[in-house]
Amino acid sequence: MSDTERVVEFAIGGMTCAACSARLEKVLNRQPGMQAHVNLAAERARVRLAPGAEMAAVIAAVAKAGFTATPVDAETREREKAAKAAVYRREVRQFWIALALSLPLVAQMAFMFGGHEQMRELPRWLQFALATPVQFWIGARFYSGAWKALRGGGANMDVLVALGTTMAWALSTVVTVFDLDQHVYFEGGAAVITLVLLGKLLEARAKARTSDAIEALIRLQPKLARVERDGQWVEVPVEALMPGDCFMVRPGESVPVDGEVLDGVSSVNEAMLTGESMPVGKAQGDRVFAATANGEGALRCRATGVGEHTLLAGIIRLVGEAQGSKAPVQRLADRISAIFVPVVCTLAVATWLAWWGLTGDLVMALINAVAVLVIACPCALGLATPTAIMVGTGQGARAGILVRNAEALERAEKIGVLAVDKTGTLTEGVPQVVEWACLRGQPEVALQHAAALEAGSEHPLAKAILAHAATVDRLAVANFSALPGQGVQGEINGRVWRLGAPDWIAGEVDSRVTAWQAAARTVVVLADADGPVALFAIADALRPTSHAAVRRLQAMGIRVVMLTGDNPHTAQAIAAQVGIEDVRAGILPGEKAAAVQVLKADGVLVGMVGDGINDAPALAAADVGFAMGAGSDAAIEAADLTLIRADLHGVADAIALSHATLRKIRQNLFFAFIYNVLGIPLAALGWLNPVVAGAAMAMSSVSVVSNSLLLKRWQPERGTH
C-alpha cells in the first residue's frame, strides 16, 4: 500500500461518447482517495491517488461502471496499439458486411424516392433477412454498450442508437409477421447502424492522428547504446544504462540518454527539442540530450539522466499530462453531456406522443421519435475540446513548447501583462567582466580577494569574476556570509572584506560606476574597512532576438514589464535597447512574487518569464509561468509552460498556440451545439428521415475531429524574426 500521493494513467476501454466519459469521471471522483480526469479522445483516465489508495480500487470502480482500465506503461502502449489495430481491422470487415447487407435496402428506397414508383420493393421476408444480421450481429456493440451504461446507472450514445434502431426493426418485424398493410422501415435501422459504424471508423482513424506527436516522441529514443565496460565498447539496451556510465555516440547516431560530453567535438541536431533545425556545436563539458541526432564527429559522454529522468522522458510525460487534462471551457460541455441522454429520451417520447395524438399515425410518430434518438448523439460535444487540446499540445511539443495542462494553455490566451526577468531571459545569461579598475593597492591582491569571496558561488556574476581571476592564487575566507540581492562578505587574514552592489558598500564610490551602469553594465565593488578597493564592470550580452520578441509581444496587445534585481541604471539601459518602458529594478529575489501580485491587482492576467531558482516563486505566483528550458529545475517545476529553447520568441509562440487552440475549441463547440440545436427540432418536426439523421450524426463527430486536425498546420513564427 503506497504511503505517498501519486498520479497513475489508465487506458480505458468501452467509452463511446461524452456521456460515458462524464459518467466514469463522476464515478471515480466519488471513490475515497481518488481525483480523476477522463479524456474521451485519448481514451485515458489520469487518477490522483491519495496515500493508502490502490490501483486495484480504480480498476474495480471502472469495471463496475461498465468499462475496462489498464495502467499505462511502455509495454501497455504497445499492447494497446496492437489491440486497437486488431479491433479496427475487425470493425472494417464488419462495416463492409453491413454495407453489403444494407445497400439493397437503401437502393430500393432511393429508386422509389427517385420517381421509379413502378419498381416494386423487395419482399419483406428478404428485407427482414438482410436487416436482422445488421441489427443484432453488427449492432451487438451498441446493445452491449447500452447494457453496461444502464447497469452503471447512466445512459450514453449506445442507448440512443440501440433504442432507436430496435424500435424501427421491431415495428417492421411486426408488420412483416402479421402481413399488415403498412410500410416497413428495415432500411432505417440497418442504414443507421452502418453509418454510425462508418462514422466510428473515420473518427478512430482521425483520433489516432491526434496522438501522432507523442507517438513520434516515443519512437525517437534509440533502443541500444554503446557503453564502455571493462575497457571495451559493447552494445546494451538503453534501459540498462545507469548515471555515470560512459557511452559513445558515433557520427550519424542518436544520443541514447542525457549526458555530458567528456571528449570529442561534433554538432548535434536538437530540432526535436527546440524546433530549430540549425545544429548546435558540442565539445567537452557541454550537455547532450536523449534522441537528438549527432552530426559528423564522435562524442564520448557520461550519462547524467537515464530512464524517466531524461529530458525526452520529461517531455513525453508533460505532453501526456497536458493531453489528458481538461480546459475550463470544457466544463459547460461536460455538464450538458451528463444530462443529455435522459433529456433526449424524454424529447423522443414527447415527439412520439405528440405525433400520435395529432395525426393518429402510430408508425409516423414512431419514425420521428427514432430520428430524434439517432440524431441526438453527443459524440461531437465530447470530442470538441480534447481533440483540439491533444493536437495543440502535440504541435507545441514539436516546437519546443511544453504545456503542463490545458488550463494553463487556456489562460495564456488571456495574458495582458508579461513580466520578464533580465538575466538569462532578455540577456544571454553568461555575464563577463568587460572592464575593471583597481582603486588602491596592488591589482593582483584585489583579484585574489574578489575571487576568494566568490569561490564556490553559483551566481552568474560570481562566475564572471571567478573566470576573470582564474590565474590568481586563492585565499582562505572565514565567517563568510551572503546577503541575497546585495553581496557577500567575509574575513581574509583577519580583515573584513565586502563584494557587492555599489549602494551596499559604505563610503563614496568612484564616479565611473554611473558611467558603466549607463552603458548597461552591472557594477560590483570590492571594499575593505577603509572603503572601495576595486570596481568590476560586468556585461551580459543581450540576446539577438530579444528586441524583436518584445515588439512582437507588444503587437499582440501585451504590456511587457521588466522585473530585475539589477540596479536601475543598468536595467533602464537594457530596457531601452529592447523597447520596454515599465522597469521594476532593484527587486530582491523574495520580492519578485510580491511584484507579480502587484501587477495582478490591476485585474489583468499576468504571465511571468524566468530561468533561475530565484524566479520560481514569481513563476508560481503568476497566472501563467513560462520557464526557459535552459534554466533551473526549480523554475521549470514552478512554471505552467516550459520553453526548451531559451528565446523570448517562444513565449509569443506559446501565446499564439493558445489562441489557435482555443479558436479550434470554440469552433468545435459551436459546430457541436448548433448541430444538436438544429437537428433535434428538425427530427421532431418530421423533416429528417432516420437514415439522414444517422448520416448527419456520424459525420458530426468526424467533422469536429477533422477540424481539430487542422491545428497541425500551426507553426511557430520565430523563424521569421
Model pLDDT, residue 467: 87
Pairing of strands 624-628, 641-643: parallel
d(CA 419, CA 426): 11
**Average pLDDT of the chain?**
82
Q: Tell me how far the alpha carbon of residue 688 is from its chain's centroid.
A: 40
The average pLDDT across 90-105 equals: 90
- Single-letter amino acid code for the residue at 205: R
Backbone torsion region of residue 480, taken as left when φ is above 0, otherwise alpha when ψ lies between -120 and 50, otherwise beta: beta
- pLDDT for residue 209 is more than 70: no
User: 186-210 and 379-398 are packed helices; what angle lies between their axes, rounded to 10 degrees?
Assistant: 20
Give the residue among 50, 52, 64 at the shortest CA–CA distance from 6: 50
- pLDDT for residue 470 is more than 50: yes
Encode pLDDT of 488-524 as tens digits.
889 998 899 999 888 887 666 677 888 888 887 888 9
d(CA 156, CA 379): 9
Query: pLDDT: is 374 or 98 the higher one?
Result: 98
Encode pLDDT of 233-255 as tens digits.
998 888 888 888 899 999 888 89
The average pLDDT across 1-21 equals: 77
Confidence of residue 337 (pLDDT cuts 50, 70, 90): low
Q: Return the H-helix or E-strand segment holding 304.
A: strand 299-305
Confidence of residue 590 (pLDDT cuts 50, 70, 90): low
Encode pLDDT of 422-436 as tens digits.
877 888 877 889 899
Confidence of residue 212 (pLDDT cuts 50, 70, 90): low
Q: Print burial letters for 473-497: b (CB count within 10 Å at least 16), e (below 16).
A: eebebeeeeeeebebbbbebeeeeb
d(CA 53, CA 367): 49
Residue 640 backbone phi and psi in degrees, to 5: -90, -35
d(CA 400, CA 184): 59
- Single-letter amino acid code for the residue at 281: G
Confidence of residue 629 (pLDDT cuts 50, 70, 90): low
Least confident window among 466-470, 666-670, 687-691: 687-691
Query: pLDDT: is 468 or 610 the higher one?
Result: 468
Give the residue among 246, 231, 256, 253 at the shortest CA–CA distance from 297: 253
| DSSP H helical ranges for 124-223 | 124-133, 140-151, 157-177, 186-210, 212-220
> Strand, helix or coil at 600?
helix
The average pLDDT across 546-558 equals: 94
CB 539 within 8 A of CB 570: no
The residue from 421, 623, 647, 653 that is catalytic is 421
The average pLDDT across 456-469 equals: 81
Length of the chain: 721
Query: pLDDT: is 210 or 567 the higher one?
Result: 567
Q: Tell me how far the alpha carbon of residue 311 is from its chain's centroid.
A: 15
Query: pLDDT: is 571 or 336 the higher one?
Result: 571
Model pLDDT, residue 145: 81
- Single-letter amino acid code for the residue at 534: A
Residue 212 annotated as catalytic = no
CB-CB neighbours of 667 under 10 Å: 16
The average pLDDT across 292-320 equals: 80
Residue 458 backbone phi and psi in degrees, to 5: -100, 0
- pLDDT for residue 404 is more than 60: yes
Pairing of strands 605-610, 415-421: parallel
User: Could you tell me the three cell numbers for 64?
Assistant: 463496475
CB 450 within 8 A of CB 499: yes
What residues have CB less than 8 Å from 48, skipping those under 6 apart?
Answer: 5, 6, 7, 34, 35, 36
Query: pLDDT: is 80 or 522 the higher one?
Result: 522
Least confident window among 21-30, 182-191, 230-239, 322-331: 322-331
